[in-house]
Amino acid sequence: MDGYLGSYATLGLVAAAGVLVFVGAFGANKLLRPAAPAQPPGKYVAYESGIDPVGGDWAQAQIRYYVYAYLYVLFAVEAVFLFPWAVVFDLPGFGWATVTEMGVFVAVLALGILYAWRKKILTWT
C-alpha cells in the first residue's frame, strides 16, 4: 500500500485485526465456559490461600519493607545506566570523560548506600 493513505489503511487493518482478536477471544470464552459453574465452599471468601481469615481487615506494614523496595529500584535504575555506558565506553572519542562521569554517578549512589548503612536503615530486625 503506497501513497498518502497507504499508512492509514495499514493502521486500519491492524486495528481491525485487533478488534477481531478481541471479539474472538471473548466469544470463545462465552462458548466454552460452563453454564453453571461449581460453587465450592469458601469460594467468595476474600482470602483464598487455604487459611481462614482471622481478625480485622487492617494490618500495619513495617516501613523497612518499603525501604528495601526503594533501594532495589534505585540499584536497578543504576544497572540500567551502567550497561549502555559500558557499551559506549569502548567507542573512539570517549575515554576518561565517560569514566569520570560514571565515577561521579557511582560515587553518589555509594554515598547514599553508605548513609543508609550508617543510619542502620539496612539492618533487619
Give SS3 for 25. Answer: helix
Q: Is the entire prediction scored with pTM above 0.75?
A: no
53: cell is: 481469615
| Cα separation, 107 vs 95, whole angstroms | 18
Per-residue pLDDT tens digits for 64-86: 788 788 878 878 887 787 887 77
In terms of pLDDT, which residue wins out, 21 or 76?
21
Query: What is the amino acid identity at position 91?
Result: L
73: cell is: 529500584
Residue 115 pLDDT > 70 = yes
Give yes or no for a contact between 25 and 17, defined as CB atoms under 8 angstroms apart.
no
| Cα separation, 99 vs 86, whole angstroms | 10
